[in-house]
Amino acid sequence: MDIRRVGVIGDPVAHSLSPVFQQAAFDATGIPARYERWHTIAAELPARIAGLCEADCFGANVTVPHKVAVAALVDSLSETARRIGAVNTVINQDGRLLGDNTDLYGFMRSLLTARPGVERDRILIIGAGGAARAVVAAVAEIGVAGITVANRSPERATHMLADLHVDGAEVIPLADWDLMGAIRDHSVIVNATSIGWNDDQMVLAPELLDAVDPHGLIADLTYRDTPLLVQARARGIAIMDGLPMLVHQGARSFELWTGLDAPIDIMMAAAERTRET
Ligand code: NDP
C-alpha cells in the first residue's frame, strides 16, 4: 500500500505535539502513513485545504488560527463542528471534505476521567475563544449542575452562549471581585484562555485560589505545568492540564480518518515523553 499523508495545519505548528503521538498511533497500528507539520499562513489556507482531497491524503488536524476559517472551506460540517463554529479535523471522504470538531470529545473524555460524578458540579469556565466553546458545549452535553463563564470581554461570552444555545448559564467579567464570589460557588474551574504559556502570567490572582473548594478540580487547557496548576497543586487541589484533552481529541481524529480504534495508551505515552524533553 502507498504511504498516506496527513498533517496539522496552523501558524505556527513547530511546537505542536500532534505529529509525535499521531505518528506513534499509525506506527503501532501498522498503517503506512506520514503525519506532517503543514505550516500555513492565512493566504495559503484555501489551497492547503483543497489539497486534502487527493487520494493519498487522510485529511488533517487544524489548529490556531485557522479553526474558524476552515469551516467555510470544506464540503460539509458535522453537527458538532456546526454548533461550535470551528473545525479541528478534516476528513477526506473519497474526495469530499468533512469538517469535524473533536475538541469537545477530547475535553469531555478527560474531564469525565479526572472528575467522576462531574454532573453534580458547578463549573466556572474562564475564556470565550474557540477552546472555551468546546468546553462549554462539552459540559452542557454532560449536563452539569451549573455553568458560569468569566471573560475579559463579557459580551464575547454572552455571544458564545447564545451561539451554542446554552440557556441558564451566567456571564461575569474577569475581575477579582466577581471571580471571588464565583470561585466560592463552583467546584470545578477551567482555564480556557491563552494565559498559561508564560510563567509570569496567571489568569487568577494566587490569593483567589485560597477560596477554591479543597475537594474541587482546577483544569487548564494549556498542556504544560502552568503557574495556575503549580499554585493549585501547592494548595492540595486536584488538577488537570491540557495534555489528556489534546491526546483524546487527536485519538478521535485518528479514528475518523482510519475507522480503527486509536491506541490511546501509546499516544498518551508518546505525548508525555515528548513534553518532558
Ligand atoms: P482564542 O484566541 O480563541 O481565545 C483566547 C481567550 O483567551 C479569550 O477568551 C481571550 O479573552 C482570552 N485572553 C487572551 N489574552 C488574555 C489576557 N491577556 N487577559 C485576559 N484574557 C485573555 O484561543 P483558543 O480558545 O483557541 O485557545 C485558548 C487556549 O487553549 C490556548 O492556550 C490553547 O493552546 C489551548 N487549547 C488547548 C487544547 C487542548 O487540546 N489542550 C485545544 C485547543 C486550545 P477575550 O475574549 O477577551 O479576547
pLDDT exceeds 80 at position 94: yes
The letter for the amino acid at 192 is: A
CA neighbor of 253 nearest in space, from 87, 71, 138, 102: 102
Measuring from atom 40 of ligand 1, which residue has the nearest CA? 246
**Could you give the CA distance from residue 272 to residue 1 in angstroms, rounded to a whole number?**
31
pLDDT exceeds 70 at position 1: no
Q: Is the torsion defined by CA of 91, 97, 102, 103 positive or negative? A: positive
| pLDDT of 100 | 98
**Could you give the CA distance from residue 251 to residue 268 in angstroms, rounded to a whole number?**
9
CA neighbor of 242 nearest in space, from 220, 227, 264, 225: 220
Would the CB of 249 count as within 6 Å of ligand 1? yes
Q: What percent of the chain has pLDDT over 70?
A: 100
Would the CB of 21 count as within 6 Å of ligand 1? no
User: Residues 6 or more apart from 243 whose CB is under 8 A from it?
Assistant: 223, 268, 271, 272, 275
| φ and ψ of 90, to 5 deg | -110, 130
Q: Tens of pLDDT along 225-266? A: 999 999 999 999 999 999 999 999 999 999 999 999 999 999
Would the CB of 134 count as within 6 Å of ligand 1? no
Cell 505515552 maps to which residue?
269
Q: Tens of pLDDT along 71-84? A: 999 999 999 999 99
Tell me which residues are annotated as active site: 67
Half-sphere exposure of 214 (CA within 13 A, CB side): 3
- Spacing, Cα 195 to ligand 1 middle (Å): 7
- The verdict on pTM exceeding 0.85 is yes
- Spacing, Cα 261 to ligand 1 middle (Å): 30
- Counting ligand 1 atoms within 8 A of each CB, the residue from 88, 105, 133, 152 with the most, and so the one to mutate, is 152
**Could you give the CA distance from residue 226 to residue 190 in angstroms, rounded to a whole number?**
13
Q: Residue 106: helix, strand or coil by DSSP? A: helix
Average pLDDT over the chain, rounded to whole?
96
**Could you give the CA distance from residue 138 to residue 123 in angstroms, rounded to a whole number?**
11
Q: For the chain, how many residues are written?
A: 277
- Spacing, Cα 193 to ligand 1 middle (Å): 3
Q: Tens of pLDDT along 123-148? A: 999 999 999 999 999 999 999 999 99
Q: Residue 122: helix, strand or coil by DSSP? A: strand
Strand runs (DSSP E) across 215-271, as ranges?
Answer: 217-220, 238-240
Is residue 173 reached through a cis peptide bond, with omega within 30 degrees of 0 on the bond before it? no
| pLDDT of 277 | 75
Q: Tens of pLDDT along 199-229? A: 889 999 999 999 999 999 999 999 999 999 9
